[in-house]
A = this chain, B = another copy of it.
Amino acid sequence: MARSPFYNAHHSPVGAFATLTLGATGARGGFGLELGAPANENLYIGFERDAEPGVIDALPFYDRAEADTSNFDSEFQHRHRENEWRFEAVSTAQRDLTAQVDSWQFGDMTVRIYTPAWELSDPPEEHQVLPAVYIDLTLDNMLGERERKWVFGFSNSHRAAGMRTYRDHELNGVMRGRDLMISTDDPEAWSAVCFDPRDAIEPEHRENLNSMLGELGVLVGRVGPQEARRVRIVVGFYREGIATSGIETRYHYLRHFKSLEEVTLSGFDHFERAVEACVEPPNDLTPDQAWMRAMAIRSYYGSTQLLETTDDPKARKLFWNVNEGEYRMMNTLDLTVDQAFYELRKNAWTTRNVLDLFAERYGYWDDVQVGEHRESGGISFAHDMGVMNQFSDPGRSSYERAGLTGCFSYMSYEELTNWVLSAAIVGISQPNWLFKHANLLRDALTSLQFRDAEHPEDRKGFMRRDGARCKGGAEITTYDSLDASLGQARANAYLAGKAFGTFLALRECFRVLGNEDLATQADAEAARTAAALEEYGTSGRIPALLGEPSDSWIIPVIEGLAYPLHLGLKNELETCFGGLLSLMKRHFDTVLQPGICKFADGGWKLSSTSDNSWLSKIYLCQWVARELWNTADPQADSAHVEWLLRDGYWCWSDQIVAGRVQGSKYYPRGVTSELWLTRSSQSE
């Protein structure tokens, strides 16, 4: 079955929170800076037809290709000269999308967009944080008899910033305000600001190209007869000044680039290096898996933001921030943990950087509520660090609220596991870093214990007491929009699985730190959790809620096994937790069935009682199942691809309700798919 190539994907530099989104038909892509959604700009990318001069075959990324000047010239619109040029949107194209290259072929024309996913050194080098996207247009006109034009343009959606043409001895470009420039170093190209893309192509008077009215910025050039030409285009982004409040920071790349022009010039300097960096080593993913991984990595980088403090120019502290897609919460900790698998393979220091700021500013101590009174709880972490460039107050997230039992309630227990698990993933090989947080790790164990029960003899190894910040409400999990089967934290089997992983992760950390005492305690907690899961799973299936009424069955009860697997403990799991593992397998085999945890199309349904299924978590559970039981489910992969393509607007998205993108759109979390390239045995 041929899939349409016309779906949106991010094309983003690393850490610039900037994107060229394109692929969907109509004005539904464009250049976005710090946005939680596509900019919805027209894009004009095309070449003059060989057989029909004056006709531009263009990718169908626009709503209109004619001028609208009616507010300037209300009575006499018709008096503008008829334009002999015509845009024709192509209806078919060959698209080949990897994580770093998006190639479009239509007729004899090729457009390639390069977004190298640089590995960041600490601190990064200039080219790694260059806020630019690299594009080339190639046209093989070797057999052509006539010169043919090419066009690359966009409509400006910025409410306040106008546009101007840019020219120096080598470049032609269009600048939008002080934050965006498209430009080419093709020596025969020109650029224009105009109302009508066709006006830029063959201006009667060249000086009119410098007019500044009109919402379009356009580059135009030519390819001669009997010529094959490659045109290089750099898209430069630039966000100057202080970008955030709460903590005042700016983009780190400002250290390297003093202006948008410098970004652009540097983009051409690094162009070929960037193209080379986009060649990826082969892997054994299926095409569906490879495509989802590529889409996920793109949406991840589209949300990343590398900042630095501005209070002391001599001591700028770096902050890595992953914005939460359409919601734009900053460094949401329940995403950090899922994304840590990816970052470990790229630049684990960014995750350690995030965890440091959580430790320094976003931890808090809280009691637990027991009926009407409070008892000791312990440390936890805020859900996030703020939203939309606003750092929240210390110890507070932008998201959590008191008095609720569903969406927007506290995630104290789960965020505590998330900090620990992330720390284990990116810290276990860095004893010095881990040592810095030794007390915190100890306090985390204590807090997990007290959030279970006060007295050791009452503990069952999972969350049983809600934090006092809930003020009578109840904690939730990251699955905030689902029913209790996955949404309720207390007694939740998913969270129990994660607790199991957390205790083992803590044990490994304590061993690295040489604290056998605490390691033994953590080990004992893991055994408690395993025992509890087995106790509630005597029927062969583990109910969604342990010891509370529930008719739900969930896949993510196995999710927590990802951590010991990833930490190289597969053998230990099999030898020491064989009972739990066979229960998990039985549970998994039983629930992964149509009518329970499978949709009719074969896609995975995380909870039997909810239609809201999250792809990032499906990927994670798929990996656990593959590593433990050698499963593969190409039919499900195909269904998951269809879910994303059915939408086609929001790039990679997470929350899919019965096959339709519904929430967590434009989202970074899908990089859990990176696990598909990881073998648990590798880490042993």
Contacts and interface: CB of A to CB of B under 8 A. Distances in A.
Nearest to A194: B401
A639 interface: no
Given A211-B400, A211-B408, A75 B160 contact: no
Contact of A213 (B246, B387, B402): B387
Contact of A387 (B208, B212, B392, B398): B212
Interface string A56-78: 00000000000001011111100
B160 A388 contact: yes
B655 A74 contact: yes
Interface stretch (A117-125, A280-288, A657-665): A657-665
A631 to B, nearest CB: 28
A76 B242 contact: no
A241 interface: yes
A16 to B, nearest CB: 13
Contact of A483 (B69, B72, B76, B471): B76
Interface in A67-107: 69, 71-76, 79-80
Interface stretch (A161-169, A594-602, A619-627): A161-169
A72 B667 CA distance: 13
A406 B162 CA distance: 23
A175 B407 contact: no
A481 B75 contact: yes
Interface in A346-374: none
Given A74-B657, A211-B400, A213-B399, A205 B612 contact: no
A8 to B, nearest CB: 17
B212 A407 contact: no
Nearest to A175: B245
Contact of A33 (B160, B175, B204, B471): B160
A84 to B, nearest CB: 15
Contacts of A327: 71-72, 213
B208 A73 contact: no
Q: How many copies does the complex hold?
A: 2
Interface string A321-341: 000001111000000000000
B483 A205 contact: no
A284 to B, nearest CB: 35
Contact of A481 (B74, B386, B471, B662): B74
Interface in A149-186: 159-164, 175, 177-178
B399 A74 contact: no
Interface string A398-433: 111111001110000000000000000000000000
A480 interface: yes
Interface of A: 33-35, 69, 71-76, 79-80, 159-164, 175, 177-178, 204-205, 207-208, 210-213, 240-242, 245-246, 326-329, 386-390, 392-393, 396, 398-403, 406-408, 471, 480-483, 610-612, 655, 657, 662-663, 665
Contacts of A406: 73, 76, 79-80
Q: Chain A contact residues: over half helix, strand or loop, or mixed? A: loop
Contacts of A665: 71
A406 B612 CA distance: 58
B401 A75 contact: no
Given A75-B611, A76-B407, A213-B387, 6 more contacts: A35-B160, A72-B663, A73-B480, A164-B246, A211-B399, A213-B329
A182 to B, nearest CB: 15
24 contacts: A33-B160, A35-B160, A71-B662, A72-B327, A72-B481, A73-B480, A74-B481, A76-B407, A80-B406, A160-B388, A161-B388, A161-B389, A162-B389, A164-B246, A164-B390, A164-B392, A177-B389, A204-B403, A207-B401, A208-B401, A208-B403, A210-B393, A210-B396, A240-B241
A207 B398 CA distance: 11
Nearest to A205: B402
Closest 4 CB pairs of A and B: A162-B388, A212-B398, A241-B241, A205-B402
B162 A402 contact: no
A35 B162 CA distance: 11
A89 to B, nearest CB: 27
A454 B166 CA distance: 38
Given A204-B403, A328-B162, A481-B74, A390 B612 contact: no
B663 A74 contact: yes
A564 B3 CA distance: 74
Contacts of A76: 406-407, 481, 483
Contacts of A73: 406-408, 480-481, 663
A138 B596 CA distance: 60
A402 B160 contact: no
A489 B438 CA distance: 81
B610 A75 contact: yes
Interface centre among A33, A80, A387, A401 (most CB of B within 10 A): A401
B402 A72 contact: no
Contacts of A75: 481-483, 610-612, 657
A240 B240 CA distance: 10
Given A72-B327, A162-B387, A406-B79, A398 B213 contact: yes
A222 to B, nearest CB: 22
A35 B482 CA distance: 41
Contacts of A207: 401-402
Nearest to A208: B401
B386 A162 contact: yes
Nearest to A240: B241
